[in-house]
Amino acid sequence: MLPPGLLKTIDVIPYSEGGEGEWMSFERRKYYTNAFIVQHDKKRILLGLKKRGFGKDKYNGFGGKVEEGETSAEAAVRELQEEAGITAALEYSGTMLFFSEGADFAYHIDYYSAGTYEGTITESEEMRPEWFAIPDATVAESSALPSIPFQQMWDDDGIWFPLLLAKRKFNGRVDFRLNARGESKLTKWWFGAEAER
Ligand SMILES: COc1nc(N)nc2c1ncn2[C@H]1C[C@H](O)[C@@H](COP(=O)(O)OP(=O)(O)OP(=O)(O)O)O1
């Protein structure tokens, strides 16, 4: 049921799949984290604008490589501190395998989230933190905050963000291929989510 290479971390039921072609093969993987502050009571989520390197000019959670000798959960807390200046009791939200055509490794990304944090949110050399409104169909008035900027995020984020916001853990894989202009685009995906409680 699961796509090749995806290491199952939780029991999931199929949630979303699409795209075309075969899954690409890869030789090795590297371990990454990505963390979000999601405040349902304030209807807002903290994202960061990546200022350099991989994913520059995209909004994302805060994260990076898991260093040798640390767990993914420890790496997530460290990266959140380094990139946004805050600490949080992060909870595991899901895992995604991402492979991009031509890359020499696949990203194994563990996602984390927390509803509260300590410290002062601070811009770092890598990320500029900003709050965005969590969509709420039950509330008529619009938020003073901007909407989540999916047009300036990774193509796959629109698929699994509803799960993150609904606190449903997920496992997924996304493959990106290069288009005629040499841009890396989402071409195939599979996501499973834990059953609704
Ligand atoms: C393709 O789909 C992706 N979606 C999202 N939301 N995030 C992704 C995707 N692919 C990679 N990422 C994340 C995973 C990491 O959090 C960052 C990349 O981390 P970074 O560029 O910071 O990595 P390094 O500079 O190698 O690591 P250090 O921060 O430890 O130096 O993007």
- Looking up residue 170, the CATH number of its domain turns out to be 3.90.79.10
Cβ neighbourhood burial of 33 (10 Å; 0-12, 13-18, 19+): buried
State phi, psi for 144 to the nearest 5 degrees. Answer: -75, -15
Q: Tell me the residue ranges of DSSP E strands in 54-169.
A: 59-60, 86-87, 91-100, 106-114, 118-119, 127-133
What one-character DSSP code corresponds to residue 65? B
- Mean of all residue pLDDT scores within the chain: 95
Nearest-atom index, ligand 1, CA of 186: 1
- Flag whether 5 is in a domain: no
pLDDT at residue 142 tops 80: no
Is position 45 within any domain? yes
C-alpha 48 to ligand 1 mean position (Å): 12
In a domain, 11, yes or no: no
Domain membership of residue 4 (yes or no) is no
> What would the pLDDT profile of 57-81 be if each residue is shown by its tens digit?
999 999 999 999 999 999 999 999 9
Q: Which atom of ligand 1 is nearest to the CA of 111?
A: 16
pTM value? 0.95
In this structure, which residue's CA is closest to atom 28 in ligand 1?
64
- Please check whether residue 14 lies inside any domain of the structure: no
At residue 140, does pLDDT exceed 60?
A: no
ipTM (interface predicted TM): 0.92
For residue 8, being part of any structural domain is answered with no
Nearest atom in ligand 1 to the alpha carbon of residue 30 is: 26
Number of domains in the chain: 1
Band (135; pLDDT cuts 50, 70, 90): confident
Ligand 1: residue whose CA is nearest its atom 4: 154
Asked if the structure places residue 20 within a domain, the reply is: no
Q: Which residues pair with 91 in a beta bridge?
A: 113
Tell me the best of 47, 54, 127 to mutate to test the pocket of ligand 1, counting ligand atoms within 8 Å of each CB and taking the most: 54
Looking at the CA of residue 156, tell me the nearest atom of ligand 1. Answer: 2
Tokens representing 47 are 């994202």
Ligand 1, atom 16, lies closest to the CA of: 63
Q: Is residue 46 part of a domain?
A: yes
Q: What is the pLDDT of residues 143-191, one digit of tens each?
A: 789 999 999 999 999 999 999 999 999 999 999 999 999 889 999 999 9
97 lies in which domain range? 28-193
